[in-house]
Chain A
Amino acid sequence: MSGYRLASGGRIDRDRRLEFTFNGRPMAGYAGDTLASALIANGVDIVARSFKYRRPRGIVAAGAEEPNAILQLGCGARTRPVQRATQTELHYGLSARTVNGWPSAETDLTAVLDRASRLLPAGFYYKTFKWPASGWKHYEHVIRAGAGLGYAPDDADADRYDRINAHCDVLVVGAGPAGLSAALAAGYSGARVILADEGSEFGGSLLSAAEHIDGAPSTHWIARVRAELAAMPEVTLLPRATVFGYYDHNFLTLVERLTDHLPATDAIGPRERLWRLRAKQVVIATGAIERPLVFGNNDRPGVMLASAVSSYVNRYGVAPGRRAVVFANNDNGYRSALDMQRAGIDVAGVVDVRTDPSGAWHEAARAAGLRVFAGHVVPDARGRRRLASVRTARLSADAGRIEDEGPRLDCDLLAVSGGWSPVVHLQSQSGARPRFDTDRACFVPGDPVQAERSAGAARGTWDTAGCLLEGNEAGVAAASACGFEAPATVLPSAAAADEQPLLPCWLVPGFKPVSRGPKQFVDYQNDTTAADLHLAIRENYTAIEHVKRYTALGFGTDQGKLGNINGMGIVAEKLGRPLAEVGTTTFRPAYTPVTFGAIAGRDVGALLDATRHTPMHAWHVARGAVFENVGQWKRARYYPRPGETMQQAVDRECLATHHAVGVLDYSTLGKIDIHGPDAVTLLERVYTNNWRKLAVGRCRYGLMLDEDGMVMDDGVTARLAEHHYLMTTTTGGAANVMARLERWLQTEWTDLEVHLTSVTDHWATVSVAGPYSRDLVGELCADVDLSAEAMPFMSIRECTAVGVAARVARVSFTGELSFEISVPAAHGQRLWEAVMAAGERYGATPYGTEAMHVLRAEKGFVIVGQDTDGSVTPDDLGMAGLVSTKKDFIGRRSLARPHLQRGDRRQLVGLLTDEPAAVLPEGAQLVDVPDGPLPLPMVGWVTSSYASARVGRSIALALVDGGRDRIGQRVFAPLADGRVLAARITEPVFLDAPGRRPHDRTDRNAERPDRRPERPPAGAVDA
C-alpha cells in the first residue's frame, strides 16, 4: 500500500468522483484518471502474476508499453480481455479484474514455480514436452490452464462496430508537440489533414511534463492549437484513435474507440470504428518509449519507468510511492527526481550510471539537495510483494563489473531510466529498416521507402523546441508534396536541448554471474531474463530472430515495446558485435492489440456474406423447404412433409417425378448471353465438342476444360438466333466461367467480335420433369407446339407463359421427359405458382436439389465439382466421345500429354454395394482388400452416393484407378466406424440400360422413352 493521491495537482477533475471495482473491491478515482492511476491512488501494488514464474507484478509504465497491468474489464457479453490499465480511461461503474494467479494475483499459490525456476530455462517446454510426441495431448491441458492473459466472452459480441474508408493528403500520427506542430503547418496550407492520437487528450508527453511553451504552461499552447485545428474545415481530429498498421502504398489502418471510456448507460452507438485510410503523405510523430534498466529483481512492484513516475505525479496527481530512489543512465532521472520532490515524495537518492555527471539537470538536482550516487548502479532490488530497498554498488572504470558495494537505500519506489527508444514501429511496418544511432543509443527511422517522414522524439529528438521545429518542417514538407503551400509561421519558444549524453547500459552488472544471480528481467510480459538470452546464445542461437523465438522475447501482447531493445543490446554485448549489426526483430501490425470486432465490422452474422435467393424463394420457405448453400445461393434441398425424414421426402419427390411430374426451381443455374458474329467461334474454342452445325432453336451439352485438360465446367448451350446463344453453367461455376471467357476474349482473342452478358439473375427457370410434364407445360405455354415431332429432345422455343415472353427448352438432367420454362425474374414467383396450380391434377410435386442429385446419378450424369475435382479429364468420365479431334479448343493439347493418356488413370465407375440397403458415405476411400497391413493402398474414392427409390437400392459413383477395366470386380470401403462395406464395380449407369456404356446428356438415351400412362395419378404421389 504505497501509492496515494496527492493533495493537489494533475489534470484530473477532483469534483467528479468515479466509483469502480477492482477484483470486486469498491474503489474510487476522478475524471481524468486512467484505471492505472486510480489503482495507484487506491494503494494497489500487485496487478498481475507473471506469465511463467507467477511473480507479483505492479504497474511499470503509463502508456501503450505497459507489460503488467493487463486486465479483464467488464463482464458478460461485453467483457474485454487484455486491456492495458494505463490506457483505460476511468469511468463510473468500471469493473476490472486480474486474470492470472490462483486463487488470486495477490495470493498466488502457483508462485512456487518461481522457486523452481532453475528447472525452467528458456526452451524448457520445447525440451521437456517433446517426448513422447503422443504425450502432448496430456501435457497441453495442464499447460494451457496455467497460461493465457484473459477470457473471451462466452456470449456473442453485444457491440456494433463501424468501418470507414477515407483519403487524406496528410496523416499525422501522434498529437504530441511534434504532431501538433506538423498538423498545424499542414492544416494552414489547406491540405486535407487527419490528426490521430491514441490518447483521449492531445498533447502527448507535454501532458505529463512540467514544461512551458511561449512562457505559459504548455497546456495553454495545446488548447490553442487544438482550437485552431478544429476550426479548419479540411482537418479531422481523431482522439482515441490508434494507427495500428502501415501497409503498402500508404494504406494505413486506424481504430477509433468511441464508447469504451463511457459508462454502460452512455455507451450508445458503435463501440469502435475502423478507418481504412489512404494517405498521400504521412507524418510519424509517435514519440518515444523509455527503456527500463535490466538488473536483479527489477520486476518488483514499485520499480517503475522514470517517465511514468513523472506522468503519474504531473498528469494524474498520484504518488506511486512514498520514498523513492532514481536509477538512471541519463538526465531524465533527474527530471523525474525533481518532479517527485516537488510533489512531496521523499527522494532518497539518484543513482547515476555515469561516473562524472554534469550539465543543467544534474546541477538542478544538486541545488535541490538531492543525493547523487555517480558511477553507481542498483544491482539488486529487495522486498517480496513490494519493493523495500535497493542495494547499490560502484561500477568499475570500464563499467563492466561492480566493485565495492554502496549503501543500501530503503525505498518503496524505484524510478528507472535506461534512455529512450523512438517508436519506429509504423515506419518499420512501412518497409523501412530502422538504423542504430550510436550517439543516442537508440534505433531511429531509416531511409523512407514510402511517402512518410518522422518528426520529434520518433526520430530521436528529445527536446520540445526541437520537436516543435521538426514537426513544423515535416508538416510543411508533407503539404508541399501534395501541392499545398504552408504559410510561414513563427514557432513558439520552448525548452531547448539541455541534456547530457547518456551512457548505454544494457545489462547492469550484478553481484553474481548472470546465470546464478537474481533474475534480471528483459521482457516482463513473457518472463524472459538476461540469463535466458545468454543461454540462447550458448546454445548457438545467434540471429536475433532466432533468439526471439527461442526465448519468447517480445512475444507478448505488448510486442516487446519495453524489453526488445534492451534484449538486442544484451545479445549484441554477449556476441561482441555492434548493436547495429545485430539489428531489430521485425515490427509487425498491430501496434497495440485490435479487437476482432473492429476488424469484422458489420460483416457478421447474416451480413458475413451475401446470400442469393431465387424469385420463388418465399414459396419454398412457406412450404417448409430445407435449404442448402450452393455458393451464395440458398437452394431448396427437399420439402419434408410433417413427420417425414429427409430420405422419405427425397424418395417421395423422386417417385413423383418418375410417375407423374416433379417441379424444380432451376433459376440458380449460371446463364451467359453470347452475342456477336464470332459467338460460335468462341464456343468452338472453349467447348470440347462441335458447335458449327447446331441449328437455331436447338441445344447441345458441352464440356469445358481448363488449359491443363481437366474438366472445369459443363452445361447446355442453346442457339437462340443466328449470332445469339445462351450458355448455361453449373450454379457454383457461373462466375468463374464468365471470368475465364472474358479473360480469353480480352487477352488472347481480342479479334473476336462477341459480347458476353451474365444473365443468371435475369431469368427465373422452372424445370418440369416426368411423364406428364408435356401436358402440364402445354397448359402454361399454349402458343408453342411441344409435340415430340415439333419439339425434339434438346430444343428451345420462344413462347408466352403467365402473360409474358418466355422460353421453353426440352432438356433433361433427370432422365425423365423435361421442359424448362424461363421467364424474366420478376415473374418467377407467378410462374412457379401457376405451374403448381395447373399441376395439381397431374400430381405435380416440388422437388429439391437432393432428389435432383439422386435422379441424375441414376442416369450417370456427373456434377462438375462433385464427381470431378480438377484432376479429371473427359476420358476419365467416359466422355471421350464429346472431344472433337477436328478443331483446337482450350485444354486439347494437354490431353495429348503422356500422363493424361495412361490407361490406369482414375476413372468414373458405378458401385453397387453387396448389401443393397447400405449407402456408402460420399468421400469414402476404396481399397482392394478388406484388411491387411496398414496403410492399405487407396485405389479411389466415392464421389456420389444415394439410396435410390427408382432403382430400388443404393447406388454410388466413384473414381477408381483403371476403373473401366475393372467392371465386375469388388472393392472395399473401410469406414471410420470400423465397418468395411464391399461393393461391385459397374458402369456408371443404373437406369434404363444398366450395364451399358454411359451416355452424355446430348445423347438420345439421355431422355427416357416416352411412357405416359393413360390416366394421371389422382392427387399427390406417395412413396
Chain B
Amino acid sequence: MLQLECPWCGPRDEEEFTYGGEAHITRPPEPDAVSDAAWGDYLFFHTNTRGLQSEQWCHSHGCRRWFNVARDTVTYRIHRVYRMGEPRPGFDA
C-alpha cells in the first residue's frame, strides 16, 4: 500500500485516496473546434507511462482535495507531490 503525502493533511495510506489517472490533460476549451479523432484522444487515450508520470489523486477520505503526484509507475517511488495549478515538475530533479 502506497503512502502519499497529501499537501493539506500530510502522509496517509493509499486507501484514503482515490486515483484519478494521468494529470495535465486539459479539456479542449473549444470542443467544437477539435476533430472527432482529437476529442476521442482527449476522452479515451492516455499515455500509460512506464516510469515517471504525473497523475491526479484525491484525498477522498480526508480533505477531499485533488492534487498531483509525480510517481514512478515501475518502482512506485513518489517523486513529488504538488498542488493543482502548479506546473508539472521537471523529472530530472
Q: Would you call A249 and B2 a contact (CB within 8 A)?
A: yes
User: Does B9 belong to the interface (CB within 8 Å)?
Assistant: no
- Smallest Cβ distance from B32 to chain A, in angstroms? 7
Determine if A978 is an interface residue (Cβ-Cβ < 8 Å): no
B1 contacts the other chain (CB 8 A): yes
Picked from A278, A431, A892, the residue with its CB within 8 Å of the CB of B31 is A892
B93 CB–A CB distance under 8 Å: no
The number of residues on chain B lying at the interface, defined by a beta carbon within 8 Å of a beta carbon of chain A, is 28
In the complex, residue of chain B having the shortest beta-carbon distance to the beta carbon of A758: B64
B84 interface neighbour in A278, A449, A747, Cβ under 8 Å: A747
Known contacts A746-B84, A750-B84, A892-B31; is-contact A897 B2 (Cβ 8 Å): no
Nearest-CB residue, chain B, relative to A249: B3
CB of A992 within 8 A of chain B? no
Q: Does B47 contact A (CB under 8 A)?
A: no
| Chain B hits for A266, CB < 8 A | none
| A623 CB-CB contact with B under 8 Å | no
Whether B3 and A742, one on each chain, are in contact in the complex, defined by CB atoms closer than 8 angstroms, is no
Is B10 among interface residues, defined by CB-CB distance under 8 A? no
Q: A248-B76, A449-B75, A888-B31 are in contact. Are A746 and B65 (CB under 8 A)?
A: yes
Q: Which of B57-73 contact A (CB under 8 A)?
A: 58, 60, 64-66
Whether A707 lies near B43 (C-beta < 8 A) is yes
Residues in chain B near residue A431, CB distance under 8 A: 75
A462 within 8 A of B: no
| B66 contacts A746, C-beta separation under 8 Å | yes
CA distance A893 to B60 in the complex (A): 29
B65: nearest residue on chain A (CB-CB)?
A746
User: What's the minimum C-beta distance from B71 to chain A, rounded to whole angstroms?
Assistant: 11
Query: Which chain A residues lie closer than 8 Å to B44 at the CB level?
Result: 708
**Across the interface, which residues of A come within 8 angstroms of B36, CB to CB?**
896-898
Given the contacts A747-B66, A892-B31, A249 and B1 also touching, CB distance less than 8 Å: yes
Asked if B1 and A743 sit within 8 Å, CB to CB, the answer is: no
Nearest A residue to B37, CB-CB: A897
- With beta carbons under 8 angstroms apart, the residue of B34, B64, B76, B85 that contacts A249 is B76
Q: A249-B1, A249-B2 are in contact. Are A743 and B20 (CB under 8 A)?
A: yes
Counting CB contacts under 8 A, is A789 at the interface? no
Q: Say whether A53 faces chain B, with CB atoms less than 8 Å apart.
A: no
Within the complex, what minimum Cβ distance (angstroms) separates A894 from chain B?
7
| Bound Cα distance A738, B48 (Å) | 27
Q: How far is the CA of A757 from the CA of B41 in the complex (A)?
A: 33
CB-CB under 8 A from A894, the residues of chain B are 39, 43
A248 touches B2 (CB 8 A): yes
Docked complex Cα distance between A897 and B44 (Å) = 13
B26 — which chain A residues lie within 8 A by C-beta?
Answer: 748
* Cα separation A743 to B67 with both chains bound (whole Å): 10
Q: Is the CB of B32 within 8 A of A893?
A: yes
User: What A residues does B2 contact at CB under 8 A?
Assistant: 248-249
A748 touches B27 (CB 8 A): yes
Question: How many residue pairs between the two chains, A and B, have CB atoms under 8 Å in the bound complex?
Answer: 56
A554 and B11 alpha carbons, distance in the complex (Å): 38
Q: B87 to chain A: which residues have CB within 8 Å?
A: none
Is B43 within 8 A of A708, CB to CB? yes
Q: Which of chain B's residues have a CB closer than 8 A to the CB of A129?
A: none
Give A708 to B40 CA distance when docked, in angstroms: 9
Q: Which residues does chain B contribute within 8 Å of A750, judged by CB atoms?
A: 84-85
Minimum CB–CB distance for A911 against chain B, Å: 33
Query: Among B13, B31, B44, which residue has the most Cβ atoms of chain A within 10 A?
Result: B31
The 0/1 profile, CB within 8 Å of B marked 1, for residues 196-221 of chain A is: 00000000000000000000000000
* Contact string against A for B residues 1-37, beta-carbon threshold 8 Å, 1 for contact and 0 otherwise: 1110000000001100010100000111001101010
B56 an interface residue at 8 Å Cβ cutoff? yes
CB proximity of A171 to chain B, nearest CB, Å: 15
Query: Chain A's nearest CB lies how many Å from the CB of B22?
Result: 12
**What mask results when residues 741 to 760 of chain A are scored 1 for a CB within 8 Å of chain B, else 0?**
01100111010000000000
B20 surroundings in chain A (CB, below 8 A) = 743, 747
Give the CA-CA distance A796 to B63 in the complex, in Å. Answer: 33
Which of the listed residues A247, A707, A747, A748 has the most CB atoms from chain B within 10 Å of its own CB?
Answer: A747
| Minimum CB–CB distance for B65 against chain A, Å | 7
A894 to B20, CA, bound (A): 21
Does any Cβ of B come within 8 Å of A1023's Cβ? no
B46 to chain A, nearest CB (A): 13
Partner of A278, one of B3, B18, B32, B34: B3
Nearest opposing residue in chain B for A746, CB measure: B66
Most buried by B among A249, A250, A892: A249
A484 within 8 A of B: no
Q: Write out the residue numbers on chain A whose beta carbons fall within 8 Å of the beta carbon of B43.
A: 707-708, 894
Whether A248 contacts B84 by the Cβ 8 Å rule is: no
Given contacts A449-B75, A893-B31, contact A251 B3 (CB under 8 A): yes
A739 lies within 8 A of chain B by Cβ: yes
Among B1, B66, B85, point to the contact of A251 (Cβ < 8 A): B1
- Contact status A897-B85, CB under 8 Å: no
Contacts of A739 in B (CB 8 A): 18, 58, 60
A730 to chain B, nearest CB (A): 20
A684 CB, nearest partner CB in chain B, Å: 14
Knowing A249-B3, A251-B3, A747-B56 touch, does A278 contact B13 (C-beta < 8 A)? yes
Q: What residues of chain B lie closer than 8 Å to A746, measured between beta carbons?
A: 65-66, 84
**Separation of A431 and B20 alpha carbons in the complex (Å):** 25
Complex CA–CA separation, A278 to B84 (angstroms): 28
Tell me the complex Cα distance, A893–B64, Å: 29
List the B residue with the shortest CB-CB distance to A745.
B66
Alpha-carbon distance between A748 and B26 when the two chains are bound, in angstroms: 8
> Are A897's CB and B39's CB within 8 A?
yes
- Nearest-neighbor residue (CB-CB) of B44 within chain A: A708
Contact mask for chain A residues 698-732; partner B; CB cutoff 8 A; 1 contact, 0 none: 00000000011000000000000000000000000
CB neighbours (8 Å) of B40 from chain A are: 897
Q: Determine how close the nearest CB of chain A comes to the CB of B80; give it in whole angstroms.
A: 15
Distance of A959 from chain B, by nearest CB (Å): 23
Complex contact A247–B56 (CB within 8 A): no
Pair A248/B1 contact, Cβ less than 8 Å? yes
* Residues of A in contact with B (beta carbons under 8 Å apart): 247-251, 278, 431, 449, 707-708, 739, 742-743, 746-748, 750, 888, 892-894, 896-898
Q: Closest 5 CB pairs between A and B?
A: A893-B31, A249-B3, A746-B66, A251-B1, A248-B76
Q: A251-B1, A746-B84, A893-B34 are known; give 5 further A-B pairs, CB within 8 A.
A: A249-B1, A708-B43, A742-B64, A743-B66, A750-B84
Q: List 23 A-B contacts (CB under 8 A).
A: A248-B14, A249-B1, A250-B3, A251-B1, A251-B3, A251-B13, A708-B43, A708-B44, A742-B58, A742-B64, A742-B66, A743-B58, A746-B65, A748-B27, A750-B84, A750-B85, A888-B31, A893-B31, A893-B34, A893-B39, A896-B32, A896-B36, A897-B40
